[in-house]
Amino acid sequence: MRYLLATALLALAAPASAQPNEAEKLYRAFEKKLAGAKAAYKFTFEIEMTSKNDTMKIKGDLLSTNANQMRFSFNGTADRGGQAKVMTGQMVCDGRQMQMAVSNNNLANSKTEAAPDQMSAILKGYMTRIGLFLSLEYSLPPRPGQTPDQFQLAGFKMAGKEKVGNVETQVIEYTVTKQGEKDPIACKLWIDVKSGMPLKRMVETSKGGEMGRIVELYTEWQIDPKLKGDEFTLPK
């Protein structure tokens, strides 16, 4: 009798466990839409990063193509240990060479070097998983021996609906663990219920006991925008 009862309970539970995770489906749909860009994608962003001693606020835009071309520009402020800096920066990659220029409190620095292979594809892989701020750290330039696949996603779950500005979004949560590291990254993503694209992301990290938080806002998403042709010309 006990065996029959247990078997019946397992049979009843099986359909529920087989149901797809709706939160992960939303994430994968966004990932697929970005990966499905035939030529390019573009968006604007605002990022606020805070940790124990540092605060950074930047805004800008990113344009990337499947031909390993990229244009990234930003401006904002950074406060490290009570010392504030005004920052501007731009990175342009024409597929063969990339030029990076950054100015901190009007102290400018720029360099031109060969563009790493598959840089834009690597950036996209990181960005869907861990957001723009951390993906730029890992992909400009790419770190040797490291790939986006080393970041494993798990724990997808729905976290209610909220508005970002006037737009209705579905909030999902998940964790990301980098291969070889024990501390997971907690991610929260606000996805536009109509477009399926993310409008906001919050990433919380813990390293050496120090907590960090990154909040990113995304607007003006364009998949395969019409390009003029001179967007990736390196400045002289």
Q: Tell me what pLDDT residue 81 has.
A: 77
* pLDDT interval class at 138 (50, 70, 90): confident
Under CATH, to which class is 22-220 assigned? Answer: mainly beta
Q: What is the pLDDT of residues 64-75, one digit of tens each?
A: 999 999 999 999
Q: Tell me what pLDDT residue 8 has.
A: 35
- Is 33 a residue whose pLDDT tops 70? yes
Q: Where are the domains of the chain?
A: 22-220
Helix axes 22-35, 119-130, angle to 10 degrees: 160
Q: Which DSSP symbol is given to 39?
A: S
Q: What is the pLDDT of residues 10-24, one digit of tens each?
A: 333 434 433 459 999
- CA 21 vs. chain centroid, Å, equals 21
211 touches 43 (CB < 8 A): no
- Is 106 a residue whose pLDDT tops 90? no
Q: Tell me what pLDDT residue 4 has.
A: 33
Q: Tell me what pLDDT residue 14 has.
A: 39
75 touches 59 (CB < 8 A): yes
Q: 10 Å Cβ neighbour count for 88?
A: 16
